[in-house]
Amino acid sequence: MKPYAILGATLGAAALLSGCATTGGLSKADKRFARGEYEAAIALYKKDVAKGKQTALPNFRIAESYRLSNRIELAEPFYKVALDAKVKSADAGFYYAQALKAAGKTEEAAAQFERYAESGSNRTLAERAAVEAKNARVATTLLTASTNNKVQPLDQINSPSSDFGATRMPDTKELVFASGREGKMYPGNGEGFNDLYAIKFEDDKQLTGGTVRKLEPIFNSDNKHEASATYSPDGKMMVFARSNDGSKKQAKDGFLSVDLFVSYLRGGAWTEPELVRGLNSRTADDFSPVFSPDGQTLYFASSRKGGLGGTDLYKATMESPGRFSAPENLGDQINTAGNESFPAISPGGQLYFSSDGHPGLGKLDLFKVEKGKVVNLGVPINSPGDDFAPFFTEQKTGVFSSNRAGGKGSDDLYLFRENLLKLVTFIVDGTVVERNDKTGRTAPLANENVVLFDSKGRKLQEVTTDPAGKFSIRLDTAATTYSLIADRPGYFTARNALSTVGRRPPQSELPNEMNEVKVPVTLTLAPIVKNKAIVVENIFYDYDKANIRPDAAVELDKLVQTLNDNPNITIELSSHTDSRGKEAYNQQLSQRRAESAVAYIISKGITPSRITARGYGETRPVLKNAKTEDEYQRNRRTEFKVTKISE
């Protein structure tokens, strides 16, 4: 579990206690909560709940304890109970939505964010909730987007404790990371204090083999967290993050929570770490530093004032060893009202980072900046849990950290190989039109509902056309076949089958890493006119026979679909012959053919009372003086007409 989310929470905990009504002073649970000892506070509050004490406050503080110790996915049921019991907190509804999102319940989270945004309980959080609602809606698309990314756990390193934040020593090529495997218990979350460790792999490509060692004592301490080391390219400077020890002296000296420290390699030994000059804020957390490949720029995260949200990304130029320029915020294209942290620079100079403010799958996701745009790395690199702290061992290969399900501990290290495959998202570029029954011309229809179904008939999305009759739907990349339906009283339901099979352009023709391919679709609504004949195309019979051929069955299935889509109509299905042959025989043949077609339709589940068979023989030709085979074919046809429209 990252310490950065919880080390500074003690100050906020006291404010939380004063923000909720209390009676009779602070309980033991409240005191633990106020000191940031959340693991003990949770156990005590749960005892209060079990004893039947107030429902709202204990559950709310259990939820807050989980949130403040970076385990908000566990807080969901406790926020719900507290809210149902009318807890007096203007922020509880927002954090409940965050808990739903972290638990992977994206649809519920989106709805809760929307409710909170409309409530106006807290103006700042309401604005953020509106953005979060949109982000949560995107999560479904991200979950189904296919990538060629590969992920595997580094099980020879991972332990039941937290293991995260990898980097490399330039000279020895050892992988350096943080772990709580030997630390004494940190009362904020019940896990060990984090120290810095290193491993020299036997296979440096696959990152296998080797033995883990603890870094020198000057880098580690019993009662502080150390993590997120980074080295200058020449290996002579190390910058890392270190927490305070909670003492009043350090608070007085200005070390509120987490700061950046630097050590130098001199004479074959590392110097005592000291605060990095000019970078740390006395009133905020500063952490997750990383050098650029040329060693001239240091990127890091900070919760200092003047940012856009919780924590933002900053950069500073090194003016001399250990001395940097004033930090520069990376701006609103990167930073959000949420939390951005754990920057990384690929060997090619591309910025990667972690964020819970950009559209993602749950908690922290990994992103990169591609042509000025922030791009989610997608599944499987990202998950509903925390995915963070990328470090590159090669151009598209590296190590990141995650507390996803299936790991050995709260955070584990994973090897990733980023795909080189350009991705495609299919977008329906749709239009709904109305056909004029007299002129045959079409005109766009505004404000028409269009519904997208999958191949099993399950409703996926519903949209409304704009004034030009246009609509757009982003398709699920995991699926391939769909149906689009537009329905209007007095009109035949318009249905269009849609498939993305074979529509993916070759990789060489895709300009970007993420590409949108538009699929044009037109839905035509035609008015239902009683007793108007409509030809059923391509209904052919063998000579002198009335059985339904496979090619005719395909077309009759479309008529079955029309009857299913329009359950209020009753039709007459008629068969017609040409004028060759005897009239009486043609009449009998057309009747047999009509009855055969109707029997087929009824076999597909259509109620018999909704359809009547009628053979007209040669009595109703389209062309009265047919002479050629094509003209005879036009007269040999199958038609249907609506005879009744039920209310």
CA 275 to chain CA centroid, nearest Å? 39
> CA 268, 272, 278, 279: dihedral to nearest 10 degrees?
90
Instruction: Say what the pLDDT of residue 11 is.
Output: 38
Place of tokens 């957390």: 285
* Stronger pLDDT, 235 or 362, i.e. the higher one: 235
Rounded CA separation 15/7 (Å):
15
Summarize pLDDT for 382-425 with one digit per residue, the tens: 998 899 999 999 888 999 999 998 899 889 999 998 876 677 88
pLDDT above 50 (res 353): yes
- Tell me the CA distances in angstroms from 416 to 210, 331, 360, 394, 420, one per residue in order: 19, 28, 18, 11, 13
CATH of 3-144, one of 3.90.25.10, 1.10.3370.10, 3.40.50.300, 1.25.40.10: 1.25.40.10
Rounded CA separation 68/47 (Å):
20
| Three-class SS state of 555 | helix
Q: Which residues of 376-393 are buried (b: 16+ CB within 10 A; e: fewer)?
A: bbbbebbbbbbbbbbbbb
Nearest to 246 by CA among 296, 187, 182, 323: 187
Residues of the chain with CATH 2.120.10.30: 150-417
Please work out, in degrees rounded to the nearest 5, the angle formed at the alpha carbon of residue 101 by the alpha carbons of 97 and 106.
Answer: 105
- Tell me the CA distances in angstroms from 458 to 48, 119, 454, 488, one per residue in order: 46, 33, 5, 20
Cis peptide before 293 (omega within 30 of 0): no
- Tell me the CA distances in angstroms from 508 to 326, 373, 512, 516, one per residue in order: 44, 22, 10, 15
- Taking residues 225-239, what's their average pLDDT? 95
Instruction: Say what the pLDDT of residue 256 is.
Output: 52
Q: Which CATH superfamily is domain 423-527 in?
A: Immunoglobulins (2.60.40.10)
Instruction: Say what the pLDDT of residue 546 is.
Output: 82
Task: Choose the weakest-confidence range: 93-97, 435-439, 541-545, 574-578.
Answer: 541-545
**Inter-axis angle of helices 92-102 and 106-119, nearest 10:** 160
Question: Where does the pLDDT of residue 368 fall: very low under 50, low under 70, confident under 90, or very high at 90 and above?
Answer: very high
Question: Where does the pLDDT of residue 322 fall: very low under 50, low under 70, confident under 90, or very high at 90 and above?
Answer: confident
CATH code given to domain 150-417:
2.120.10.30
Instruction: Say what the pLDDT of residue 254 is.
Output: 47
Summarize the chain as % helix, strand, coil (round to 5).
Answer: 25, 35, 40
CA 354 to chain CA centroid, nearest Å? 15
Summarize pLDDT for 624-645 with one digit per residue, the tens: 988 888 888 888 889 999 999 9
- Longest CA–CA separation in the chain, Å: 114
* Stronger pLDDT, 573 or 534, i.e. the higher one: 573
Instruction: Say what the pLDDT of residue 23 is.
Output: 42
Q: What percent of the chain has pLDDT over 90?
A: 58
Instruction: Say what the pLDDT of residue 581 is.
Output: 85
Summarize pLDDT for 547-559 with one digit per residue, the tens: 888 888 888 998 9
- Please state, rounded to an integer, the average pLDDT across all residues of the chain: 88
Whether pTM exceeds 0.85: no
Q: What is the helix (H) or strand (E) element at residue 32, kind and residue range?
A: helix 28-34
Instruction: Say what the pLDDT of residue 543 is.
Output: 65
Rounded CA separation 641/528 (Å):
9
Rounded CA separation 141/120 (Å):
29
Please work out, in degrees rounded to the nearest 5, the angle formed at the alpha carbon of residue 644 by the alpha carbons of 638 and 647.
Answer: 140
Question: Where does the pLDDT of residue 4 fall: very low under 50, low under 70, confident under 90, or very high at 90 and above?
Answer: very low
pLDDT above 50 (res 519): yes
Radius of gyration from C-alpha coordinates of the chain: 34
Rounded CA separation 604/600 (Å):
7
Summarize pLDDT for 100-144 with one digit per residue, the tens: 988 888 889 999 999 999 987 788 888 888 988 888 888 777 776
Q: What is the helix (H) or strand (E) element at residue 114, kind and residue range?
A: helix 106-119
Place of tokens 């701006």: 331
Question: Where does the pLDDT of residue 246 fall: very low under 50, low under 70, confident under 90, or very high at 90 and above?
Answer: low
Residues forming a β-bridge with 514 = 423
- Taking residues 167-196, what's their average pLDDT? 88
115 CB-contact burial (10 Å; exposed 0-12 / middle 13-18 / buried 19+): middle
- Taking residues 256-266, what's their average pLDDT? 89
Residues of the chain with CATH 1.25.40.10: 3-144
Give the count of beta carbons closer than 10 Å to the beta carbon of residue 130: 15
Rounded CA separation 379/396 (Å):
16
Backbone dihedral region of 36: left (phi > 0), alpha (psi from -120 to 50 degrees) or beta? left
Rounded CA separation 322/263 (Å):
9
Cα-flanking dihedrals φ and ψ of residue 635, to 5°? Answer: -75, -30
Side chain identity at residue 5, one-letter code: A
Residues of the chain with CATH 3.30.1330.60: 534-645
Q: Which residues of 295-318 are buried (b: 16+ CB within 10 A; e: fewer)?
A: bebbbbbbbbeebbbbbbbbbbeb
Residues contacting 125, CB < 8 A, separation 6+: 91, 94, 116
Instruction: Say what the pLDDT of residue 9 is.
Output: 38
Helices (DSSP H) in 390-504: which residue ranges?
none
- Taking residues 590-608, what's their average pLDDT? 95
Instruction: Say what the pLDDT of residue 6 is.
Output: 40
CATH code given to domain 534-645:
3.30.1330.60
Question: Where does the pLDDT of residue 146 fall: very low under 50, low under 70, confident under 90, or very high at 90 and above?
Answer: low
Contact of 450 with 496, CB cutoff 8 Å: no
Instruction: Say what the pLDDT of residue 479 is.
Output: 63
Nearest to 537 by CA among 444, 448, 638, 441: 638
pLDDT above 90 (res 522): yes
Q: What percent of the chain has pLDDT over 70?
A: 92
Cα-flanking dihedrals φ and ψ of residue 405, to 5°? Answer: -65, 145
Instruction: Say what the pLDDT of residue 430 is.
Output: 96
Contact of 443 with 173, CB cutoff 8 Å: no
DSSP string, 150-172: EEEE-TTT--SS-EEEEEE-TTT
